[in-house]
Amino acid sequence: MQLRFFLFSFAFLASIALANDDKKAVLDFVASVNSTPITQALFDTTLKNAVARGAADTPELRQAVKEELINRELLIQEAKKDGLEKSPEFISQVDQFEQNLLLQLYIDEYFKKNPITDEQLKTEYERQKKLLGDTGGEVQYRLSQIVSAKQSESMLLLNRLQKGDSFTQLAREFSIDPVSKKEGGSIGWANTSQINAKLLQTIQLLNKNEYSKTPIQVGNAWVIVRLDDKRAAKIPSFEDSKNQLRQALVQQFLNDTLRRLRQNAKIVM
């Protein structure tokens, strides 16, 4: 209700997540490439991510993961020979991955300590029902989005979509919206009054399962939006709304936290 390469990429993200792991983990490795170890921890994380995406944990998959990590290490070593790890493009991308990862870990840790209760969901449901009121035959749209910080990044993702890459997978990997990215970019159903005017103009011209042909600037972000479905407006049941309600409460937590932090921060622009 509120808006907002397979193993290879898993391995890359996992390597960032494990960058600060205990150095003792290096002693436990599954292979080495030119004396550089591929740690058991990195292998386990990559395998876990592959299984979470629907792959079956088989000896064949485990061997494929190991081979992919070896191939990746060979390419990384070759890239380092050219000094690419010191390039501005690399540093910028690593910084963005690190920011996204830390933000997601911050959200997960908070809600691990403060789980959302059914009572909170019901309160939010009633609040949103009052806001919606009588929809009067208005159209609702079920949307997904990929949000980027830069137009150039959004254009690269759009190019990958046009080549046949999965919208859901790209959203999970690259979207900077921490709420919808966990859902593969899905933001659920929204009324026209809840959608940014620029996005709405594009959405109204899309057919079901089509996405915008150019990135749309919304504030400081660039959005690729997909129309998943549309219907005559109705207020969904509480049970059907739980996922969107959770997203709304997470977004509310982020908004409140940012408001508090900005009040106490020294920001120079």
Question: What's the CATH code of the domain at 189?
Answer: 3.10.50.40
Token match 């005559």: residue?
A: 232
d(CA 158, CA 146): 9
Tally the domains of the chain: 2
Q: Looking at 86, 110, 143, which one is the last position of a domain? A: 86
Q: Residue 142: what pLDDT?
A: 93
pTM: 0.51
d(CA 213, CA 31): 44
Residue 187 lies in a domain: yes
DSSP code at position 184: T
Determine phi and psi for 228, rounding to 5 degrees: -85, -30
CA–chain centroid gap for 216, Å, is 18
| DSSP track, 203-255 | HTTPPTT-B-SS-EEETTEEEEEEEEEEEE-----HHHHHHHHHHHHHHHHHH
Residue 219 lies in a domain: yes
Task: Let me know whether 226 and 157 are in one domain.
Answer: yes
Tokens representing 87?
A: 């390039």
237 φψ region: left (φ > 0), alpha (ψ -120 to 50), beta (else): beta
Task: Let me know whether 145 and 75 are in one domain.
Answer: no
Task: Let me know whether 81 and 144 are in one domain.
Answer: no
Task: Let me know whether 145 and 73 are in one domain.
Answer: no
Find the domain containing 161 and state its range: 135-234
Q: Mean pLDDT, 10 residues at a time, over the chain (269 residues)?
A: 39 44 59 92 90 89 93 93 90 87 92 94 87 66 93 94 94 90 89 86 94 92 94 80 88 90 87
Of the candidates 136, 159, 152, 139, the one whose C-alpha atom is nearest the C-alpha of residue 206 is 139
What is the widest separation between alpha-carbon atoms in the chain? 68
Residue 266 lies in a domain: no
Residue 261 lies in a domain: no
Q: What residues are paired with 36 via a beta bridge?
A: 33
Task: Let me know whether 143 and 222 are in one domain.
Answer: yes
Q: Residue 17: what pLDDT?
A: 44
Residue 256 lies in a domain: no
Going by C-beta distance under 8 Å and a sequence separation of 6 or more, which residues neighbour residue 37?
26, 29, 31
Tokens representing 26?
A: 């290096």
Residue 195 lies in a domain: yes
Token match 């009633």: residue?
A: 126
3-class DSSP state for residue 190? strand
Residue 264 lies in a domain: no
DSSP code at position 182: G
Task: Let me know whether 139 and 72 are in one domain.
Answer: no
Q: Positive or negative CA dihedral for 242, 243, 248, 251?
A: positive
CB burial readout 88-107, b (16+ within 10 A) else e: eeeeeeeebbeebeeeeeeb
d(CA 33, CA 161): 34
d(CA 238, CA 229): 20
Q: Looking at 86, 102, 122, which one is the last position of a domain? A: 86
Residue 25 lies in a domain: yes
Task: Let me know whether 82 and 139 are in one domain.
Answer: no
